[in-house]
Structure 1
Amino acid sequence: MRRTTPFTTTTAPVAVIGTIALSLTGSPAHAGPSAPAERAQMRGLPAAAGTVEALASAATALAQASARPKSHTVVRGDTVSAIAARHGLRTADVLAWNGLGWKSIIHPGDVLRLSPSESATTMHRAKAVSRDTSHGASDARGAGTHTVTKGDTLWAIARSEGVSLARLLRANDLTTSSIIYPGQKLEIPGRAAAPAAASAARKSASSSGSAAKRVVLDDEQVRGVKTIIAVGRELGVPEKGIAIALATAMVESWIRNVDYGTHDSLGLFQQRPSMGWGSADEVRDPRRATAAFFGGPGDPNGTATRGLLDIDGWRDMEFGAAAQAVQVSAYPHRYATWEDQAYEWLEAYG
């Protein structure tokens, strides 16, 4: 009777090694889902994951994700982008998980999440299940609008409407640091049709420069409009400059003299005392804030800040670009969407 010896790792036949090597090479274009590269793609790995190097890289990435801490305590010199890169994350994700915007400031001692909140994810899924079992009502709810009331926050609205905060922000061209106001209407994206509609609306806005929804100004907003126009007239600002100021105030504060904002931003134009725009009381003085926005010889801040009239060639700039030159916003295209209505307000109340 012939005796056989089991294979060991040191005596593996060349044929076996060759078979393993062949299984790690590229597969024909017609290969089925069993091909290594396609199996890798089905798992969400890169298309080239059928190679030894890519598989090793993917394994390393999975190991890093498993070892990643759940939070990071900020130290001096840290930035959100540097923290994200250090842990193999996208900056946008770290911002969203911590309710921050691109202009947010972090401080030593702050604790940042390095993954989405489990409670938020669970709540979102529960909302989604609730909508799916509501006999069709979810489609109408998911593609409607929400009128902001006092005390509302973007996170609370997203949660109550059963949509992710990221989708709510994208549908309304907002950031986590954007300010919302009572009476403002927000688009609530639907599960399928609404994102496409929102994309089309944004494309229309970018091409026409005047696609903002029409609004009827209330008494507080009318007072703000009249103040901006009056100060502009007194300073000899051209019509275009006054219209730019009106559109800017609409974007920044909904033309309301608010006593809150991102960080220490206040007033009609969300000017920041910490950035030299004046004291808290000064930036909430509508006339002074407007004069500071216009700048020029009548700038109450002197040369500490730069207003519209201080920008070389502002008259020849595109409407939104001129506003952006003063405000330095993360979403510069939003100003141009109010251009037509700004000129209408100027004509009606000027």
Structure 2
Amino acid sequence: MRRLTLSPLPSRRRTAVIWPAAVAGTIALTLTAEHAAHAAPPEPALTSLPPAPRSLGMPVLAAVTPPTTYTVKPGDTVWDIARAHGLDTAAVLAANGLASDAVIRPGHVLALTPAAAPAPPAPAAPEAAPRTHEVRPGDTVSAIARANGVSLDAVLSANGLTRASIIYPGDVLRIPADSPAPAPAPAAVAPATAPGLDAEQSDNARLIIRVGRELGVSDRGILIALGTAMQESWLRNLDWGDRDSLGLFQQRPSTGWGTPAQILDRERSTRVFYGGAADPNGTATRGLLDIPGWDQLPYADAAQAVQISAYPDRYAQWEQPATTWLAVLG
């Protein structure tokens, strides 16, 4: 058999492979391109501020309103209900008008909020200090009331007076602070004449009414003055009369009613007829307001008490007409 003799393999030697320059450049470019394909893209240049990060939507929890009522269930007690809602047992009882031993039953509806406390009362306004007025000669209640901005009736009531009362110098009247005078009503235009009277008579009647109002005389006193003047002078300011009688009320100088000139002064003679504390004659003569109980006397008797006429019954016929004149002219 033929023996094969193996010759030893030549040993490997690392030999440097020298590539041509063109091939080397191609390989380099290929590797560079391949590396670039797998590399992260370049970061863009910042040309503006980055957008704000998007906020994560968080659920908004709605405010929980505590219940204002509770429907009783089997086994409930007021104490359990109050504790479950963080309330005081006494407050729940009070809110529902319950006594401490009250029994509640299933289905009852209990209020869980107390009733609103009533508003405290407003503090009372401090009471004004009382005012007074000392009566001076010539004062009348109506003039005092007007000067102090209160009503005539308020002053009369505060001092226990009536429209027929007489005040005297030195009297001290209380002026109420809480009774303002009523606002004047729009002035109505009074007719020029009253039924049955001409212009002169109506003018004299209007003067008698005005003076009576200023003196605080009642309507009845004014009616007596109107009827008296009509009976004595036909409501005319006469410069003649029986014996020395003159003027609206036929007053006589010889009996102390004043001088002829004073009696022919219509306003003065009217004030003298009314008399009272503001009488220009003082106590020399007696007017209507000076007669005790004059407002309780029959119409003709009150007039006669002032006039002392020889025909006392004739005054009565003018009571009804005087009522009409006052209603029209007053």
- Provide the TM-score with structure 1 as the length reference: 0.39
Q: Relative contact order, CA 8 A, sep 6+: which one is greater? A: 2
More helix by share: 1
Taking structure 2 as the reference length, the TM-score comes to 0.41
User: Is the radius of gyration larger for structure 1 or structure 2?
Assistant: 2
